[in-house]
């Protein structure tokens, strides 16, 4: 958004927060937005930092993590392209934001962003709606963390990935096996599901042994029996 006055080259122009904006809001945002690339593993902000920026995620995947005082970590959010990243109105950053894959963002300095928010009601509305959505996601995740078994967690995670992969997932026939690329490592899956890396690995191995999935490569999973997987995930 930093180069083009009307953000025409923005891949997520219509899917992002900017989607419903009129030109004046877009121009205002464009004025303060700046593109930034992150390499896989690089972190955008550390928990505890002073909160200096918000962003739209253009491509790649980010994770938000928190940790207990003694260092146990959990991912409290995964962000995909077009998602809004950051905490407006907060003075300190509560989460560590890390790139799970190479990523590209449109970064807004926080204060100016808040200013634009103030002056453009549709932007504020969009952000409210998105925030409510994130709250729902987070609460769904709470149910998963608090009440589901490891097998349900892993099965559910694979189904979520499948849903998200959507068109980009390859499948031979309409009801045939689906192959997806996991956007993250085993360790990151564990961190997201509130498990250990070993438990995630064991669950995947069990599912493979049961013929429900295949694991052509470590980051690639073929779902051979999605009905069984759905069953395993405990529906919901």
Partner DNA sequence: CGGCTGATTGAATCGCCTCAAAGAGCGTGG
Partner DNA sequence: CCACGCTCTTTGAGGCGATTCAATCAGCCG
Burial label, 138 (beta-carbon count in 10 A; 0-12, 13-18, 19+)? exposed
Contact residue for DNA among 149, 176, 211, 227 (CB under 7 A): 149
Q: Which is nearer to a second copy, 31 or 72 (CB)?
A: 72
Residue 227 within binding range of a second copy, rule CB under 8 A: no
Q: Which is nearer to a second copy, 181 or 198 (CB)?
A: 198
Contact residue for DNA among 16, 75, 199, 222 (CB under 7 A): 199
What are the b/e assignments for 40-77, b being 16+ CB within 10 Å?
eeeebbeeeeebebbbbbbebbbbbbeeeeeeeebbbb
DSSP code of 162?
Answer: H
Size of the site for DNA (CB under 7 A): 21
Cβ distance 84 to 135 under 8 Å?
Answer: no
Residue 40 within binding range of DNA, rule CB under 7 A: no
Contact residue for DNA among 36, 130, 164, 202 (CB under 7 A): 202
Cα end-to-end span (Å), the chain:
39
Binding flags for a second copy, 74-113, as an x/- string (CB under 8 A): x-xx---------xxxx---xx------------------
For residue 14, the SS3 value is: coil
Q: Which is nearer to a second copy, 89 or 217 (CB)?
A: 89
DSSP code of 8?
Answer: T
**Pairing mode, if any, of strands 220-223 and 103-109?**
unpaired
Cβ distance 63 to 98 under 8 Å?
Answer: yes
Q: Distance (Å, rounded) from C-alpha 105 to C-alpha 193? A: 26
Among a second copy, DNA, none, the one that 179 touches (CB under a kind-dependent 5 to 8 A) is none
Binding flags for DNA, 179-198, as an x/- string (CB under 7 A): ------xxx------xxxxx
155: left (phi over 0), alpha (psi -120 to 50) or beta: alpha
Among a second copy, DNA, none, the one that 204 touches (CB under a kind-dependent 5 to 8 A) is DNA
Residue 214 within binding range of DNA, rule CB under 7 A: no
Contact residue for a second copy among 80, 194, 215, 228 (CB under 8 A): 194
**Pairing mode, if any, of strands 178-181 and 213-217?**
unpaired
Footprint of a second copy on this chain (CB under 8 A)? Answer: 64, 66-70, 72-74, 76-77, 87-90, 94-95, 118, 121, 124-125, 127-129, 131-132, 134-136, 138-143, 145-148, 193-194, 234-236
Footprint of DNA on this chain (CB under 7 A)? Answer: 149-151, 185-187, 194-202, 204-205, 215, 217-219
């Amino acid at each position: 958004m930093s180069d083009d006055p009307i953000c025409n080259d923005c891949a997520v122009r219509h899917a992002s927060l900017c989607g419903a904006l009129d030109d004046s809001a877009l121009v205002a945002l464009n004025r303060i937005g700046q593109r930034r690339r992150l390499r896989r593993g690089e972190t955008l902000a550390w928990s505890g930092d002073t909160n200096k920026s918000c962003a739209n995620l253009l491509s790649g995947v980010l994770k938000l993590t928190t940790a207990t005082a003694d260092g146990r970590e959990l991912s409290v959010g995964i962000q995909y392209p077009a998602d809004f990243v950051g905490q407006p109105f907060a003075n300190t950053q509560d989460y560590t934001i890390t790139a799970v894959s190479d990523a590209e963002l449109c970064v807004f300095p926080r204060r100016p962003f808040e200013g634009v928010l103030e002056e453009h009601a549709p932007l504020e509305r969009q952000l409210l709606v998105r925030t409510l959505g994130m709250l729902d996601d987070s609460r769904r995740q709470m149910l998963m963390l608090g009440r589901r078994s490891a097998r349900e967690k892993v099965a559910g995670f694979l189904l979520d990935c499948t849903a998200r992969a959507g068109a980009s997932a390859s499948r031979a026939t309409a009801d045939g096996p689906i192959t997806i690329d996991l956007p993250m490592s085993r360790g990151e899956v564990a961190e997201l599901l509130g498990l250990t890396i070993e438990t995630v690995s064991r669950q995947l191995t069990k599912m493979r042994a049961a013929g429900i999935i295949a694991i052509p490569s470590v980051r690639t999973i073929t779902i051979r029996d999605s009905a069984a997987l759905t069953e395993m995930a405990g529906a919901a």
